[in-house]
Chain A
Amino acid sequence: MDAFYIIATASLFAISCSILGAFLILRKMAMVGDAISHAVLPGIVIAFLFTGSRDSITMIIGAGILGVFTTFLIEFFHRRARLQADAAIGVTFTWLFALGVIMVSLFAGQIDIDQDCVLYGEIAYVPLDLWISESGINFGPRALYVASGILIINLIFLFIGYKQLYITTFDPQYAATIGVGVTLWNYLLMGSVSMTTVAAFESVGAILIVALMVVPSACAYLLTQRLEQMILLGVLISIFISVVGYYLAAMIDGSIAGGIVTVSGCLFLMILLTQVLKKRGAKTTVSSPENLG
């Protein structure tokens, strides 16, 4: 049962990440996902200091606000200060993350968060943190509920906003001329990224979250030429890497999150290789003499 809980939690988070990641990649903003995943740290600490609770919802709200603030800062540095986009991202998130690290060490006595946990997470603990009602009924691991909730929110977001996300991603100028709020949808997407990141960071860690945002969608991008299919394939790949990654980790007795991302990286390389070979194959058939005549 533990294996099931871990795989299910990982899959649900990975699916959420891949849905958002598809849009991030197409907006050439994959590294913004990276930035947000690090920059939310001070938000988490502040949320904890204010409320004194470590429950997920407080933290998600705190981090969500910081995430949107990060996006705002990046846009601000990029547009107003005329800094290159990548430099703006680099300045913003390292600074905010450093702030978070200092806060964690400063309030270390009061906060039950340590830096290892923030960076690497530990999905193996998922089955230990159970949601048990006052009457003593065991509902299963808490993280599973958080992951499901986040996925439902992301699916609703995708369902309602698909058209708007699609058009603002493909051609933001045109979208603005027909009256679609380009800035609004950008911040909604970044808000969802922040929310998903912070919900998942306890389990998967801030660094590996980035992999879940980018790699499954990048694999899907190589495989298809339609956005709907890209999202769907991203979801399937997310489930696949969660299952295989878990058993890889179990086999070598290593980190589960590490296993999942290792598998996703290998999968990406394999897909890339087959695509390259396929293209080369197509070229040779075209240029071979019997096809030219």
Chain B
Amino acid sequence: MKVEATNPAVEFHDLTVSYDKKPVLWNIDMTLPQGALIGIVGPNGAGKSTLIKAAMGLLPLGSGYVRLFNQSLDEVRHRVSYVPQRESVDWDFPTSVLDVVLMGRYGKLGLFRRPSNTDKEIAMNCLKKVGMEAFTKRQISQLSGGQQQRVFLARALAQEADIYFMDEPFAGVDAATESALLGILQGLAKEGKTVVVVHHDLQSAAEFFDWIVLLNLRLVACGPIKDVFTNKLLQDTYGGKLTVLAEVGELVKNREIPSREKY
């Protein structure tokens, strides 16, 4: 099951990625549409993070290529933004919330220029969008998990990119943050930006995304959620181990998704 996007923002062509000669992604070949909120879903170790790292040029490719807006990454780097996993940095680092968000401007500044007042204004606006304007001067170690994730999102927003690759932005955040983040991502998609999110929770995936990529070392399926979130394809992805999958598939079909338990 594979649906090609009519107006692709991202194209993966025969992509294979290996760690230590052991392939972790096989022959990924797909296109992702512009202006959509796209979820990459699959079990642990399926290569979800690897896929977006490969797209961002962080890993050497075994074979194949990735093109963004039909150009190579180096040509469109300023239009692409990456949100790494929250755990990938040391949150005890001596720096403030505003300084982290200002990093989003560095790509545009080049080697010698320092962030200007305009850059600071943009950073402040992005902090406002994620509801963190009260924490500008705060040292980053004093933030909760959800707040850290908001700061990372603000940094990505400050890049003013057209494609966003996000690695598990919803992992370990509270319900309030989750809905705030989702609102922002949906807003971006509405503006015509492409948002690609690695996500591990199936139930909420059904709620969040317009377009789904089902991944388990190889590409199981990709396309609009109504075509892809089916019983059979989910079982193909997860190996049929989760019986709950069946219900999720049904729910999606009818788009009758109950509001999930808020904790």
Q: Do A and B come from one complex?
A: yes
Listed in ascending order, the chain A residues whose CB lies under 8 Å from chain B are 26, 28, 82, 160, 163-164, 166-167, 169-171, 173-180, 221, 224-227, 229-230
Q: Given A160-B112, A171-B89, A224-B94 in contact, is the A177-B103 Cβ separation under 8 Å?
A: no
The one of B82, B103, B141 in contact with A167, judged by C-beta atoms closer than 8 angstroms, is B103
A-B contact pairs, 15 of them (CB 8 A): A26-B93, A82-B20, A163-B109, A170-B103, A171-B89, A173-B58, A176-B58, A177-B77, A177-B81, A177-B82, A179-B77, A180-B106, A180-B107, A227-B94, A227-B95
Number of cross-chain contacts by CB at 8 Å: 72
Q: Is the CB of A177 within 8 A of B58?
A: yes
The complex places the Cα of A208 from the Cα of B254 at a distance, in Å, of 71
Q: Given A221-B94, A226-B96 in contact, is the A170-B56 Cβ separation under 8 Å?
A: no
Nearest Cβ on chain B to A89's Cβ, whole angstroms: 19
Interface size class of B (residues with CB under 8 A): 20 to 34
The complex places the Cα of A28 from the Cα of B109 at a distance, in Å, of 27
Q: Is the CB of A230 within 8 A of B77?
A: no
Per CB-CB distance, the 3 closest pairs between chain A and chain B, nearest first, are: A178-B107, A225-B139, A177-B82
Q: Given A160-B112, A179-B107 in contact, is the A174-B94 Cβ separation under 8 Å?
A: no
Listed in ascending order, the chain B residues whose CB lies under 8 Å from chain A are 20, 53, 56-58, 74, 77, 80-82, 84, 88-90, 93-96, 99-100, 103, 106-107, 109, 111-112, 114, 139, 141, 155, 159
The complex places the Cα of A28 from the Cα of B96 at a distance, in Å, of 20
Enumerate chain A residues within 8 angstroms of B112, measured Cβ to Cβ.
160
The one of B80, B96, B103 in contact with A171, judged by C-beta atoms closer than 8 angstroms, is B103
Nearest Cβ on chain A to B151's Cβ, whole angstroms: 11
Q: Given A164-B111, A177-B57, A177-B82 in contact, is the A170-B93 Cβ separation under 8 Å?
A: yes
Q: Is the CB of A226 within 8 A of B107?
A: no
The secondary structure that dominates the B interface is mixed
**Nearest neighbor of B96 in chain A, beta-carbon distance:** A226
Q: Is the CB of A226 within 8 A of B84?
A: no
A177-B82, A179-B74, A224-B94 known, 5 other contacts, Cβ within 8 Å: A170-B95, A174-B103, A178-B106, A227-B94, A227-B99
Q: Given A226-B94, A226-B95 in contact, is the A171-B107 Cβ separation under 8 Å?
A: no
Q: Is the CB of B94 within 8 A of A230?
A: yes
Nearest Cβ on chain A to B198's Cβ, whole angstroms: 14
Enumerate chain B residues within 8 angstroms of A160, measured Cβ to Cβ.
111-112
Q: Is the CB of B106 within 8 A of A167?
A: yes
Q: Is the CB of B88 within 8 A of A173?
A: yes
